[in-house]
Structure 1
Amino acid sequence: MNTLTVFRLGRVEYEDGLKLMHLFGEARLQERIGDALLLLEHPPVLTLGRAAKRENITATDARLSEEGVEVFDTNRGGDVTYHGPGQVVGYPILLLPPERRDVRRYVRDVERGLIQTLAAFGLTAGAIPKWPGVWLGQEGSPDARKIGAIGVHLSRWLTTHGFALNVNTNLEHFQLIVPCGIREAGVTSMQRELGHPVSVPDVEEVLAREFTQVFDAQRVDGTVDLRTVSVAVMHGRGLEARVLLLRRTPERGGFWQTVTGRLEPGESPVEAARREVAEETGLQLPVVDLAYRHAFALGDALPPKLVEEHGFTVHAAPDTQVRLGPEHDAFEWVDVPTALARLPFRGLRETVTRALKAPRP
């Protein structure tokens, strides 16, 4: 029996999710890993499939910016869809065996995994042949409403992209688009249908169970390889705000970053953040938890090396003296636009963005 390794990653920035799909896919093609199912949540984004029509994004660029929603083109099938917090996104990375090499069968199997998951929570869902996805209500019924989107990509019988199941999703964000290009029907969530919020971890657990059954596999639970912290050291407010950037030594990449570092054995994230600030800058200051935790792949290693990072901030005085540690060869206090332009990774930029809004200790 094949194995299906299930990774429950929490928040993943969308571009980091694309990279994870690529790396897992390459590792699977090279048979360096078995089949995998990535379960995660994205920040608010609109994604366009190969058949997407731009006019199906009905919101203006200004409205999207106001709502904090980004737009991405993808190589999956389908039109435009929305991802956001409270929605479980699943990326099955499967190398289909010869007996399963049928695109329609694969899509039906993904639908079946979602339908069986919803049934476990008392919701009767099904497919509507003329429309993609998983639905509540019948074809032709005025109350037909989509609860799960499906958009897949297959190459050399390797599957990427996948599905999005609305659990506690902000349904108002679907008003920014014509979901999947379908104007005749609405969108719903498990929360709306059941009348109360639903535990995302509970839904992920059932999804893992049902997809393991649908694809005749033995489940294995995946884990992250490394836990890290990112700390934005700031001083000033508003337009006067400045961010401390550290430049890594050439042998460590030579790029600019915030304070970062790994958790040591037995160390909590807040303890690691406080220690890294002291070691990398010489500052002994209280740290503020930004409630920002996300996952990504470290570098381009195969198999992928998974990292879970926790974001913090530190507020320093304008005349603070910085003493660099051995990992960096320069530092600068820069304004926020400069910091966001220099930082090479989305997670670091998000840490800075959240630090601007954080309360002072």
Structure 2
Amino acid sequence: MNTLTVFRLGRVEYEDGLKLMHLFGEARLQELIGDALLLLEHPPVLTLGRAAKRENITATDARLAEEGVEVFDTNRGGDVTYHGPGQVVGYPILLLPPERRDVRRYVRDVERGLIQTLAGFGLTAGAIPKWPGVWLGLEGSPDARKIGAIGVHLSRWLTTHGFALNVNTNLEHFQLIVPCGIREAGVTSMQRELGHPVSVPDVEEALAREFTQVFDAERVDGTVDLRTVSVAVVQGQGPEARVLLLRRTPERGGFWQTVTGRLEPGESPVEAARREVAEETGLTLPVVDLAYRHAFALGEALPPKLVEEHGFAVHVAPDTQVRLGPEHDAFEWVDVPTALARLPFRGLRETVARALNQPGP
């Protein structure tokens, strides 16, 4: 029996999710890993499939910016769809065996995994042949409403992309688009149908169970390889705010970053954040938890090395003196646009953005 390793990753920035899919896919093709199912949540984002029509994004660029919603082109099938917090996104990374190498069967299997998951919560869902995804209500019914989107990509019988199940999703964001190009029907969520918020971990557990059954696999629970912290050190507020950037030594990559580091054994994230600030800047100050935790792949290693990172902020006075640690060869206090332009990773930029929304000392 094949194994299916299930990774429950929490928040993943969309571009980091694309990288994860690529790395897991390459590792699967090289038989460095078995089949995997990545379960995660994305920040608000619109994704365009190969058949997407731009006019199916009905919101203006200004409205999207106001709502904090980004737009990405993808190589999956389908039109435009929305991802956001409270929605469980699943990326099955499967190398289909010869007996399952049928695109329609694979899509039906993904639908079945979602339908069986919803049944466990008392929701009767099904497919509507003329429309992709998983639905509540019957074809032709005025109350037909979509609860799960499906958009898959297959190459050399390796599957990527996958599905999005609306659990506690902000349904107002679907008004920014014509979901999957379907104007005749609405969108719903488990929360709306059941009348109360639904535990995302419980839904993920059900998805892991049902997809393992649908694909005749033995379940393995995946884990992250490394836990780290990122700390944005900020002085001032508003247009006058400055962010501390540290430049890594050439042998460590030579790029600019915030304070970063890994958790030591037995250390909590807040303890690691305080220690890294002291070691890398010479400052001994309180840190503010930004309630930002996300996962990503470290570098280009195969199999992928998974990292879970916690974001923190430190607010300092304008005359604060910095003493560099051995991992960096320069530092600068820069304005916010410069900081966001220099930082090479989305997670670091998000940490800075959240730190700037925190009140100063």
Q: TM-score range by the shorter chain?
A: over 0.9
Deviation, structure 1 residue 269: 0.1
1:88-237 equivalences under 5 Å are 88-237=88-237
Deviation, structure 1 residue 133: 0.1
2:86/2:169 contact within 8 Å kept: yes
- In the alignment, the residues of structure 2 paired with residue 34 and residue 205 of structure 1 have an alpha-carbon distance, to the nearest angstrom, of 20
- In the alignment, the residues of structure 2 paired with residue 186 and residue 293 of structure 1 have an alpha-carbon distance, to the nearest angstrom, of 32
- In the alignment, the residues of structure 2 paired with residue 105 and residue 295 of structure 1 have an alpha-carbon distance, to the nearest angstrom, of 31
Mapped pair 1:274 → 2:278? no
Q: For residues 255-299 of structure 1, what are the alpha-carbon distances to aligned partners after superposition, in whole Å with 9 as ceiling and x for unaligned?
A: 000000000000000000000000000000000000000000000
2:237/2:360 contact within 8 Å kept: no
Deviation, structure 1 residue 359: 2.9
Matched length: 361
- In the alignment, the residues of structure 2 paired with residue 358 and residue 238 of structure 1 have an alpha-carbon distance, to the nearest angstrom, of 11
Equivalent residue of 1:149, what SS?
A: strand
Q: Which residue of 2 aligns with 1:78?
A: 78
Q: For residues 70-95 of structure 1, what are the alpha-carbon distances to aligned partners after superposition, in whole Å with 9 as ceiling and x for unaligned?
A: 00000000000000000000000000
Percentage of pairs with the same residue? 95
2:236/2:360 contact within 8 Å kept: no
- In the alignment, the residues of structure 2 paired with residue 155 and residue 272 of structure 1 have an alpha-carbon distance, to the nearest angstrom, of 42
Q: For residues 83-140 of structure 1, what are the alpha-carbon distances to aligned partners after superposition, in whole Å with 9 as ceiling and x for unaligned?
A: 0000000000000000000000000000000000000000000000000000000000
Q: For residues 118-168 of structure 1, what are the alpha-carbon distances to aligned partners after superposition, in whole Å with 9 as ceiling and x for unaligned?
A: 000000000000000000000000000000000000000000000000000
- Structure 2 gaps of 5+ residues are none
- In the alignment, the residues of structure 1 paired with residue 276 and residue 37 of structure 2 have an alpha-carbon distance, to the nearest angstrom, of 33
Q: For residues 314-351 of structure 1, what are the alpha-carbon distances to aligned partners after superposition, in whole Å with 9 as ceiling and x for unaligned?
A: 00111111000000000000000000000000000000
- In the alignment, the residues of structure 2 paired with residue 175 and residue 168 of structure 1 have an alpha-carbon distance, to the nearest angstrom, of 16
Q: For residues 12-50 of structure 1, what are the alpha-carbon distances to aligned partners after superposition, in whole Å with 9 as ceiling and x for unaligned?
A: 000000000000000000000000000000000000000
2:40/2:88 contact within 8 Å kept: yes
> With structure 2 as the length reference, what TM-score do the two structures score?
1.00
Q: For residues 168-224 of structure 1, what are the alpha-carbon distances to aligned partners after superposition, in whole Å with 9 as ceiling and x for unaligned?
A: 000000000000000000000000000000000000000000000000000000000
Equivalent residue of 2:212, what SS?
A: helix
- In the alignment, the residues of structure 2 paired with residue 237 and residue 281 of structure 1 have an alpha-carbon distance, to the nearest angstrom, of 20
Q: For residues 45-74 of structure 1, what are the alpha-carbon distances to aligned partners after superposition, in whole Å with 9 as ceiling and x for unaligned?
A: 000000000000000000000000000000
- Give the superposed CA RMSD: 0.4
Q: Which residue of 2 aligns with 1:42?
A: 42
- In the alignment, the residues of structure 1 paired with residue 358 and residue 194 of structure 2 have an alpha-carbon distance, to the nearest angstrom, of 34
Deviation, structure 1 residue 360: 3.6
- In the alignment, the residues of structure 1 paired with residue 145 and residue 152 of structure 2 have an alpha-carbon distance, to the nearest angstrom, of 21
- In the alignment, the residues of structure 2 paired with residue 320 and residue 171 of structure 1 have an alpha-carbon distance, to the nearest angstrom, of 45
Equivalent residue of 1:340, what SS?
A: helix
Deviation, structure 1 residue 225: 0.1
> With structure 1 as the length reference, what TM-score do the two structures score?
1.00
- In the alignment, the residues of structure 1 paired with residue 210 and residue 12 of structure 2 have an alpha-carbon distance, to the nearest angstrom, of 23
Q: Point out 4+ residue stretches in structure 1 off by more than 2 angstroms.
A: none
- In the alignment, the residues of structure 2 paired with residue 215 and residue 256 of structure 1 have an alpha-carbon distance, to the nearest angstrom, of 44
Deviation, structure 1 residue 358: 1.3
- In the alignment, the residues of structure 1 paired with residue 269 and residue 262 of structure 2 have an alpha-carbon distance, to the nearest angstrom, of 9
- In the alignment, the residues of structure 1 paired with residue 241 and residue 296 of structure 2 have an alpha-carbon distance, to the nearest angstrom, of 28
- Structure 1 gaps of 5+ residues are none
Equivalent residue of 1:107, what SS?
A: helix
